[in-house]
Structure 1
Amino acid sequence: MSQFQVIGGNKLSGSITPQGAKNETLQILAAVLLTKEKVTISNIPDILDVNMLIELLGLLGVKIEKLNTDTYIFQADDVNVDFLTSDEFHAKSGKLRGSVMLAGPMLGRYKRAFVPKPGGDKIGRRRLDTHIIGFQKLGANFSYNENGYYQLEADELKGTYMLLDEPSVTGTANIVMAAALASGTTTIYNAACEPYLQQLCSMINRMGGKISGIGSNLLVIEGVETLAGTEHRILPDMIEVGSFIGLAAMTQSSITIENCGIQHLGIIPEKFRQLGIDFYTEGDNIIVCEQDVYEIQSFMDGGVLTIYDNPWPGFTPDLLSIILVVATQAKGSLLVHQKMFESRLFFTDKLIDMGAQIILCDPHRAAVVGLGRQHRLKGITMSSPDIRAGVALLIAALSAQGKSIIQNIDQIDRGYQYIDKRLQALGADIQRIS
């Protein structure tokens, strides 16, 4: 198993371009199953989770043509539905949470879907209730197979009204894909409205779908009989953009982040500004300024700043790990409140071992006392528990004194494309070793 060896303390410089968005890609790839015609997708990131889903599509019988490193043509005109019940599908899809996205299009087009218990990050409970209940309201029958499958079947899917119990992004996407081919009109209230879901809905409309309310939490889907092929380009990954802003601040570097998709970043830039990080925009680029010290803002009444996750347009939970690690070297105090996943803050013990002043109040809250660079973090050996924590630890290691070893970097590779090579181009001392 590979690991990263990092020598910290180097200032970085240069330009870096965020990869295509991982979370959007997993939804868009699943959507190719909605039509028998060709679908061309570009800006696909070359990461483990995405490559595993592409492999699953190929095993299902989808024809795949790779045009270049980030562009593929998919054609699902001869899908082997029976593969869903095979041991191979069970084994491979169980390692990838994104495999749950296959259920919506398979149910919509073939009226049959099988979902293994999903894999992915170990960040707490990640229930599938929103997906399953939505499918049931469309008319699907649900059962739990003794072999570990969630089994879904329907004679016909019929449009209906539903109020989601939570604005789940993947749940909304799955229901939208099933409803796009259902008979009648489906109304989804309390729907997720993230940019990546907007991208999925816009893509389905270009395929001949009829979805209105895109960008709001009230989606109306008029079902159609068939969908056609289309072309689609994945947005830049907003999580990478935030990660690179934090990286520049922690390493006292000036970095240009190119082609950020700034109009789709929502509140993310503002949250990093609240940490005192100085940056500006030129066109679609973000230029982070070199700073010796950055100071965390307080609330207007003088209270300690709290940053917490919320459904879009609130702050994405995927960047709270980055926010936490960046705050350790700021001047001032911060309370990080991770509402959604009860295990996502458990990587803070590694930062404490590096010298950070953090109090883990409970599984959901961590109080950070910024050191203002008076005491530099020190390099240690640590393990990456999940994708986002892994990159947060990598950023900490790049800013620390001495050598750090980061183990279990497969977690990082699941979500970040060629991260070591891209950081080396900025001047980082990072090596992938066995």
Structure 2
Amino acid sequence: MKSAASRLLSAFEALIGVDLPVRVRCWDGSEAGPPDAAARVVVNRRRALRRMLWAPNELGLTRAYISGDLDVDDLFPLLGIPEVVDRIGDHRLAGLRPRTLAHAAATLVRLGAVGPPPRPPAVEIRRRRGIRHSRDRDSVVVSHHYDVGNDFYRLFLGSTMVYSCGYWVDDDARLDTAQRDKCDLVCRKLGLAPGMRLLDVGCGWGSLAMHAARDYGVDVVGVTLSREQRDLARKRVAEAGLSDRIEIRLQDYRDIQDGPFDAIASVGMSEHVGLVNLPLYAAELRALLRPGGRLLNHAIARVRSLPDRPGRAPSFIDHYIFPDGEVLPLSKTIDAFERAGLEVRDSESLREHYALTLRAWVSNLLGSWDDAVRLAGEERARTWLLYLTASALGFEAPNRLTVHQVLAVRPTADGASGMPRTRDRWLHGTRAAT
């Protein structure tokens, strides 16, 4: 008679469609799979099977992992198996033959997956009130992600507290160096110079605003929907002696009334806007930008064509990481900007840069694991480890995820862009003397 581990592994291999290079150990001590497998999974409790039976998609598996019902020695080898991503990560289990699904479900039942659906982990967000992407709902879901403790974020982001991909000029660069170089790249693309006024939409903990004010002599207004980000950003600005140059606000971009600005940076924020509001977002930013001013939009973009949201199974990202977040194709962003009257001048992919950044964040989080659990709880620490690991693999693979810096301008009345004719002249300019 097959052991619990053998039967469970066989059921998953039938669902995935290939022999999995995974070693499985079950609650009864039984093991199955290649002894030297890089991916090792421990099913601590039968409750993990109930989670997967009631949610036979990535949500069931992630609930099992986040709750501790299931452990993985190293997430990278497991999530790096292409068939796992294709079948579970892209929600293709629904396309399997009913007989295959029924056989897998019967195996889980025989192994003890009997009973009502277990309560989801406490860190899961399920009920969201209000209209999607309304001001009130956006404020709540943004708080869910960002207001989990500044000290927790510092553990893996490092001293710069920048929560977007770095710019890795050298292969052996440190994370903090890559993040400073990214802030500088943004400032150079925007053509910042002393006396200018910069709007930083989604300013996070204030790192870009501080870099722009300190090294380029500009005045900055930074807006965020996270109270914890606002409070720490203001503290950092004051400690740097930049309070006379930088104002940090708890404010929605739709409520900014004190334009125009000479330049606008939106880094890692437009993923929260949504497809429906993308035209409004583009129009609002254009209205806040003076003629001849530049806008830099730094955002994750979806490459592989996926089914629209209504036809997709519930996802880990939507329930745990970015509720209501939407990663759109680059073409949607460019189209919205052009329809709003902005002229797109440049788009640069930083896909490999984000993969390197995420690997560094994973390393930092694992290196501070006990502190992470103490500060945020084990469930949240597991959530972020899963999220960062899966994201790193997503950016390392072609044709799945990428991240683009789109540079646009608001043309003047006579059609001038104010942009130098060659990229070298605006991209490789020198810092302003301050």
- Shorter-normalised TM range: under 0.3
TM-score w.r.t. the length of structure 2 is 0.25
TM-score w.r.t. the length of structure 1 is 0.25
Q: Give the structure with the larger helix fraction.
A: 2
Q: Give the structure with the larger strand fraction.
A: 1
